[in-house]
Amino acid sequence: MSTLLWILAFALAAVFVASGAMKIFVPREQLIERTPYVEDFPHTIVQGIGLLEILGALGLVVPALTGIATVLVPLAAAGLAITMVFAALVHIRRGDTTRAMLPSMVLAVLSVLVAWARFGPYPL
């Protein structure tokens, strides 16, 4: 199970780094074309969310790799899960389809799994 959690943490980190980098570095107009919800928020808020995603991704793997402050791993996973719940709520508020909400929901569930496992039966 520990190997599965490592794989899951690295996969989640890769997704969140990519998503966060896109929110920070892609121009607003291109972001709106790819993800229409962006037009509902100021660009600084979208960039802030991107920064939080990158920090959360780092929190999933860096403490585990270094063995320093390993409690940050489940905390980062829980924070990312909460972020994804709010992302799904934004899609619900906009009246988006389930297909638009699905990535947020899957990422939330996987993040909760990592948080639960690392807080509970499989700590670092």
- What residues does each domain of the chain span? 2-119
Band the pLDDT of 51: cuts 50, 70, 90. very high
pLDDT in tens, 96-121: 999 999 999 999 999 999 999 999 99
Give the C-alpha separation, 53 to 31, whole Å: 16
Classify residue 111 by its DSSP letter. Answer: H
Residue 1 has pLDDT above 90, yes or no: no
Q: Residue 50's Cα: distance from chain center in Å? A: 9
- Which of 26, 13, 6, 31 is closest to 80 using CA atoms? 13
Average pLDDT over residues 22-30: 97
What pLDDT does residue 117 have? 97
Classify residue 105 by its DSSP letter. Answer: H
Under the phi-then-psi rule, with left for phi > 0, alpha for psi from -120 to 50, and beta for the rest, what region is 41? beta
For the entire predicted model, the pTM comes to 0.94
Band the pLDDT of 28: cuts 50, 70, 90. very high
